[in-house]
Each structure stands twice: as C-alpha cells, then as structure tokens.
Amino acid sequence: MTPAALSIVEASNAMQRGQLSAVELAESVLEQIDKLNPTVNAYITVRHSDDVLGEARQADQQRREGQAAPLTGIPIALKDNFATAGTRTTAGSKILAEWIPDRDATVVGKLKQAGAIIAGKLNMHEFANGTTNDNPHFGKTRNPWDPDRTPAGSSGGSGAALAAAMCLGATGSDTGGSIREPAAFCGVVGLKPTYGLVGRAGVVPFSWSLDHAGPMARTVADTALLLQVMAGYDPGDPGSVPSAAVDYLRDLGRGVDGIVVGIERHYFTKVMDPGVRRGFETTVEHLQALGARIQEIHLPAAELSLAAELAILFPEAASLHRSWLDERPQDYGEDVRRSLLSGRLYRAVDYVEAQRVRALLRKQLAEAFQTVQVLLTPTMIIEPVSWGCERFVIDGAERDPLEAFIRCLVAFNLTGNPALAVPCGYGDGGLPVGVQLVGPPFSEATLFRVGRAIETRFEPNRRTPPLLEASTY
Amino acid sequence: MASQDRAFIRQLLGEGAASLSPADLAWMSEEAERIQARSRALAEAAKTDLDFAAMVGPATAEPLGESWG
C-alpha cells in the first residue's frame, strides 16, 4: 500500500518509529495527485513539489531534533475557500480566480503551526453554493468510487482527494451539509463542529449564521486529531466561542456501553434508499450489540428544517454577493447565479419566520438531548448518484433533488449542534453509505467515541475505491 | 406567467435581472412559487406555535455562538 493511503495516525506512528520519512510520504502524495487528479479533478491548485518536499525535509529535521508537533510532516489539503497567504484562493469561482490573499485563514495558520504540509487547494462547488461539485470554471470533481458519479459537495474536492489518497486530511466548510454530503458519498469521515468551535476568519463566507468550518479525514481518529488542532477561539470570527480545551482523542476507545442513542423515525429515518436503510439499521444493531441503548425521540420542527434553511441561507448569501450579482452576474455559473438571485425573492417576514422555526427546532433538540446522548440519522438518504440525475424516486415517491441531498443535514446548520458523518457500509451498487451522529453543543468527544465504535464494526468490511486500487496496489 | 408577475420579479431582482435569460426568468418564476409554498409552511408553524420561548427566539442573523452561554 502506498504511504499516501495511510491514516494520519498510522503515518505519524511510522515516522516516529523511523519507518517512514516525511519526504517519502510527501512524494507518495504528490505521485497520487499526478496519477489520479487528471481523472478525479479534486485539486484546483497543487503546490509546487519543490515547496512541498522542502517543507517535508524540514519536518524530518524537526522530528530528528525531537521537535515534532501533532501533524509534523502530514500532507493536508484545503478546500479552496480557505485563504492561503501567497497561494490563490478561488472559492471555486471565476470572480475570485486570481485572488491571492496576504494572510492565512485562522485554521490554516493552526494547521501549519501543528506541522501540517499544505499539499494544495481543493475543488468545490462554486462559492460553496451547491451539492454536486459540477464546477463550470474548474471542471467537475469526480467520485473515486465511480467517476461517472458526483462526489457530492460543496466540499467534493475534499471528499474525493481523501478517498483517492491524494492527501491524508482535508478541510471543508458546511452551510447546509457540505462537509457531510461528500463524506458520505466518498466513504470518508467529516465533522461539522459546534457553531463557534472552529474559527472561520479567512474562510470565504456563504451564509454567516449557517456557515461552519471543519475537518475531514479517512478515519474517526484522524478527524478528532484534526479538530484538536483546528478548534479554539478565533478573534477574527464574530461567531467564535471561547471554550475549554478538550482532548478529542481521549474517549475514542471507550466503546458505547450504556450510551443512549436517539432515533427519530417521523422525519430523519422516514425516507431512504434501500441500501442506505440497510446500512442504517445494521448500524443500530451494531450499537445495540455493543451495549448502547436505543430510544425513539420526536422532533416535529424537523419537517420544516429545509424550508427554514433556504429562507435564511439565500437572503444572507444574496446580501453577501449583492455587488457582484449586480455588476458581473455573468461571471457566475448558471445554477449559482440563479440561486443567489433567488435570495432577493424572499420577503423579510419569510426570513423572520424561518428564524422563529429555527428557535423552535433548537428548543426541541435541546429537550431531546435531556434523554439521549446522541442522535443517529442517515447522512444522505440516497446512494451516490450519476451526473445529471434530476429525478429522485425514493421509497416509491418522487422527491425534490435538493431534499434528496440535504434532508437530514440542514437541521443542524440551523441549530449549530455538532454532526459527524461516518461510513457504515455499501449500498446496492457497492458504493459507500453513511450515518450521521448529532450531539449537544460541544459534545464532539462523545460523537468521536460513538463514531469510532461504528467504524470498528465496519472496518473488517472496508473496501477500497476501484480507482485507488488500480493506482496503488 | 403574467407580464405583471415578470415585471415584479424583475423589480425584486434589481440590477442583476438585466442579465437574465428567458430561461433564467422562467426558473425564477417557478422558484418564487416554491418560496411562497415553503413560506406558507413556515408561517403556519410560527402561527400555531404558541410556545413563548419560540416566540422570542432569534429574529436576526446574530451568531448562534453568542447564545451558547
């Protein structure tokens, strides 16, 4: 197996034992990018190999001197809406195609401080506004499990690069599911943290009150390790919250004996493709077998989560994009221009009523967490779909395409609760499906603990994307 | 779509409307109907919910983080 396909924890341990150098790891990642990016198109910008390998040599030197930090020598890639000093940051758009920031986003600075080597900038749906990663300016990102299918989005480059071993960890942003969707479709792990836990200064916004930045990786432990580095108060982000330091890796191996897992069958598990349902129900059985107790809950306001999300998201996004929409509308892709302009069709009263429903949902969810520790839902209700698929028949009924992608996700952008997407199996077509774990604010350590238990049961059956298998084994 | 509806949608869209193709405008018209349908559902929930906590909930885009306490 190529070193690029190792987890962060495995690679760090191998480097610590002297079995692998940071230079070898960086060379392996660059080789994977050379081989697979022409097909997958996960990267918009790959950093020059001289720069990457130069930093890898420094990392090896630091390790020899006993100066290793948590991510020393680990190649990480950034969604291209995270500002990088001296490296263009496009947000997947023509409008920002030549923008070279003079500062790093707060999170990028933290990753570098922890020793990460930035491999490059990842493709995304334009301005994070979309679910397919079909980008008219930089091309489609293709799903490594089947290039004829979408990796989902908007952090599709992050999910695809991880699945194709073109980086060991990645950043994503999530306004309506954009970390969790590609995590599910690409068979990797993604965390939308508690609102305010990870700073957003320097992350190109989409909708201020719904935007979250978070980590994506191939394993739960790697995702926890990345959060350990990325979390913390960010004075440049008005939504940032001072919070006590937490060891997110501490409880990973504690299992789920005695954990109370909530399941909501009125909305979140009502509609699913058969393969997703099989993965979900198997996960429930696994958790019970490991000692978790299942308890049904009801969140009536969840039915309105999609309507509330859209009535908040698009007016906020239309405000953010106001000047560009008026002055250079043709520089947007058609789907993004249309949806951003649609933000002008909402009335003020629609926005306010959406905020009231949001408050109701937060209250109902907080009440649910008085009796359960985590909520388990499917991540995506559909299996990875082919490009151009516009008709979604699920459980015998036709569904709106947007609902098919984000039905179970947007509620937690509205409430700000943390949500972890974890692979749990494979659907009828052999493609990944996953589950979502949601917890009370700042309960990420518990989500990682339960996520790791799910991963442990899933690991013996884990498969490799065919594209990766052909390139590395 | 009636011409007065098209004119109203153009007015709402502001300067950006000048760039819209007939197909864009048709999509906008359909989206306006979808928005109205969703908004009716939200209004119904807001109207029938008499819970005091929800009635005084955040009516602005203030960052959620300020309310975690």
Task: Report the predicted TM-score, pTM, of the whole model to 2 decimal places.
Answer: 0.95
Q: Does residue A192 have an active-site annotation? A: no
Residues of chain B contacting residue A306, judged by C-beta atoms under 8 Å apart: 38
Most A-contacting residue of B35, B40, B44 (CB-CB within 10 A), to test interface: B35
Q: Select from A397, A410, A401 the least CA-distant residue to A302.
A: A410
Residues A35, A79, A121, A192: which is the catalytic one?
A79
- CB of A377 closer than 8 Å to CB of A436: yes
Tell me the residues of chain A between 125 and 154 that have a Cβ less than 8 Å away from chain B.
none
Contact between A22 and A61 under an 8 Å Cβ cutoff? The reply is: no
Token digits of residue A142: 């293709």
CB–CB contact A360 B14 (8 Å): no
Mean pLDDT over residues A237-255, rounded?
A: 93
pLDDT at position B60: 46
Q: Mind listing the pLDDT tens digit for each residue in A58-67?
A: 999 999 999 9
Pairing of strands A212-217, A169-174: antiparallel
**A79 included as an active-site residue:** yes
Distances (CA, A) of B39 to A149, A316, A358, B42: 33, 16, 13, 5
**pLDDT tens-digit readout, A434-454:** 999 999 999 999 999 999 999
Q: Mean pLDDT over residues A263-269, rounded?
A: 97
Residue identified by tokens 């980086």 is A167
* CA R_g for chain B: 18
| pLDDT > 80? residue A149 | yes
Do A250 and A224 touch, CB atoms closer than 8 A?
Answer: no
Q: What is the mean pLDDT of chain A?
A: 96
**Best to test chain A binding among B38, B50, B52, B55 (most A CBs inside 10 Å):** B38
Catalytic residue among A21, A28, A93, A154: A154
A270-283: pLDDT as tens digits? 999 999 999 999 99
Number of neighbours of residue B48 by Cβ within 10 angstroms: 7
Q: Which residue does chain A place closest to B49, by CA atoms?
A: A360
A163-202 pLDDT, tens per residue? 999 999 999 999 999 999 999 999 999 999 999 999 999 9
Which of B11, B39, B47 would best serve as a mutation to test chain A binding (most A beta carbons within 10 A)?
A: B39
Give the Cα separation of A131 and A134 in Å (integer): 8
For residue B26, the chain A residues in CB contact (below 8 A) are none
Complex-level ipTM: 0.83
Per-residue CA distances from A364 to A58, A264, A288, A301, B54 (Å): 51, 12, 25, 8, 10
User: What DSSP character marks residue A219?
Assistant: S
CA–CA dist A29, A118 (Å, integer): 11
pLDDT given at position B1: 53
Nearest one of A31, A23, A129, A119 to A405, comparing CA atoms: A129
Distances (CA, A) of A163 to A3, A157, A208, B29: 14, 10, 29, 40
Q: Is the separation of the CB atoms in A312 and A209 below 8 Å?
A: yes
Strands A419-426 and A189-192: antiparallel
Contact: A209, B62; criterion CB under 8 Å? yes
Q: What is the structure's pLDDT at A333?
A: 96
Is A386 annotated as catalytic?
no
Give the CA count within 13 Å in the CB-facing half-sphere of A437. 31
CB within 8 Å of chain B, chain A residues 172-191:
none
In whole angstroms, what is the distance from residue A429 CA to residue A420 CA?
24
Inter-chain touch B28–A240, beta carbons under 8 Å: no
Facing A345 at nearest CB: one of B35, B53, B65: B35
By residue count, chain A amounts to 473
Mark yes or no for CB contact B42/A358 under 8 Å. no
Report yes or no: A356 at the B interface, CB cutoff 8 Å: yes
Catalytic residue among A178, A240, A443, A471: A178
Q: Inter-chain contact B58–A355, Cβ cutoff 8 Å?
A: yes
High-pLDDT (> 90) share of chain B, %? 19
Q: Is some CB atom of chain B closer than 8 A to the CB atom of A344?
A: yes
User: What's residue A461's pLDDT?
Assistant: 87
Cα–Cα distance, A219 to A191 (Å, whole number): 11
For A347-358, the pLDDT digits (tens) are 999 999 999 899
Give the rounded percent of residues in chain B with a pLDDT score beyond 70.
Answer: 61
- A83-92, A292-301, A368-377, B41-50, range with the lowest pLDDT: B41-50
Cβ–Cβ below 8 Å for B63 and A349:
no
Q: What is the pLDDT of residue A178?
A: 98
Instruction: Give me the mean pLDDT over the A397-410 stretch.
Output: 93
